[in-house]
Amino acid sequence: MFVAKTENPALAALLILIATAFIAATTLLAKALGTDTLGAALPVLQISHGRFLFAFAALTSIAMIVRPPLGRPHWRLHIGRTSFGWLGVTLMFASVAYIPLADATAISFLNPVFAMVLAIPLLGERVGPVRWSAAGIALVGAMILLRPTPDSFQPAALLALAAAVVMGMELIFIKKLSGREPIFQILLINNMIGLGIATLAVLPVWTPPTGPQWAALAALGGLMACAQTLFVNAMARADASFVAPFSYATLIMAAIYDFAGFGVVPDTISLIGAATIIAGALLLALREARIKPSAAQDAL
């Protein structure tokens, strides 16, 4: 019900584009919540808590209605995957309060590069010259976006870079989970464990949100749940090599939202850095697609 088994590239592209709009919107909401746009800025731990709280509520509601088949969970892998996922999301939300959404989004595209590097010692994978070249290109783009000069260096960009490293580790656990359990079950358990971690983390810093902030938190979680479901379904309908280019529309949507919401216009350095990262990440995605068949779980 959540994943189609027939090929439909046109529909896959549409689903990915809608998902990118939702994902970019979550970063916009995180930026609004982390600044004084909707009231006194909320702690980043509270923003990530809202993301998991309302995403889990949305997925639970769906599960109660359609009652998808569930199997026995591999709890160790789920806990590992979600721990890194929660930390990555939290670091990402922290970064967007200080740097342009487009920059943070572009840096986040490095997570498959870091996953490739981490897979060498953790999964015993071999990396050839094409994949190393792709990683090198993407990392050059990250250095451009970091603006490593005394006058233009963005310390907050290091938060986005750290988020990419952590989410690269999350991808290692996703690879281990791939094919073991129903996809919707992975989504549901991910958000359930994430809610538990986020709740413990937010207790010392929780503050009462304003009405608009509650609405933004609910929208953030709901949009993330929708984006995850759309991504999974898109990956099931087309090869990764076809889907990957459309996923980079997240960068375009983030730039549009940042301009509409905060009047931020990407400068030349941002455009060059983002293009470089996308070139490297896309080369890596195409290479990975040739190495092995696409898996819907890799988009979770």
pLDDT tens string 165-187: 999 999 899 888 877 888 888 89
pLDDT of residue 300: 46
Q: pLDDT confidence of 295, banded at 50, 70, 90?
A: very low
CB neighbours of residue 242 within 10 Å = 18
On the question of pLDDT at 13 being above 60, the answer is yes
pLDDT of residue 150: 67
On the question of pLDDT at 152 being above 70, the answer is no
Whether pTM > 0.85 for this model: the answer is yes
pLDDT of residue 297: 41
Highest-scoring range by mean pLDDT, 28-42, 119-133, 280-294: 28-42
The token duo for 191 is 């958000």
Q: Check if the beta carbon of residue 37 is closer than 8 Å to that of residue 267.
A: no
Q: pLDDT confidence of 242, banded at 50, 70, 90?
A: confident
Mean pLDDT of the region 112-123 = 88
Mean pLDDT of the region 259-282 = 91
pLDDT of residue 153: 77
Task: Give ∠ CA 10-15-21 in degrees, rounded to 5.
Answer: 130
**Residue whose C-alpha is closest to residue 96's, from 146, 33, 167, 140:** 33
Contacts of 124 (CB under 8 A, 6+ apart): none
Mean pLDDT of the region 86-106 = 94
